[in-house]
């Protein structure tokens, strides 16, 4: 039963401690993400991708040389 009380309290203390250390060391940069991903912005149009690149060309009998 004590586990369900102690675990969140230790987690809270660790989060506050390491967040404070991060802000103290990195300054304002600590409020920005460390890893950024290439997600499109809200006002940015998504890139046009080619249609199906695995599409196979269907050959007619005359093109095969039969």
pLDDT digits (tens, 9 = 90+) for 6-31: 999 999 999 999 999 999 999 988 88
Q: How many domains does the chain have?
A: 1
* Domain assignment of residue 51, yes or no: no
What is the tens place of the pLDDT at every residue in 37-62? 776 666 666 666 665 555 555 656 66
pLDDT score of 20: 95
Task: HSE, CB side, 13 Å, CA atoms: give it for residue 51.
Answer: 2
- The pTM of the full predicted model, rounded to 2 decimals, is 0.49
The CA angle 58-62-64, to the nearest 5 degrees, is 60
* Domain assignment of residue 14, yes or no: yes
Residue ranges making up the domain that contains 27: 1-36
Q: C-alpha distances in angstroms, 17 versus 7, 22, 27, 31, 38? A: 15, 9, 15, 15, 30
**Contact in structure between 9 and 16 (CB atoms under 8 Å):** no
């Amino acid at each position: 039963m004590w586990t369900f009380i102690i675990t969140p309290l230790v987690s809270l203390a660790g989060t506050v401690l390491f967040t404070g250390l991060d802000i103290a060391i990195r300054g304002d940069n600590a409020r920005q993400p460390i890893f950024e991903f290439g997600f499109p912005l809200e006002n940015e149009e998504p890139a046009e991708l080619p249609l199906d690149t695995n599409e196979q060309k269907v050959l007619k009998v005359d093109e095969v040389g039969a």
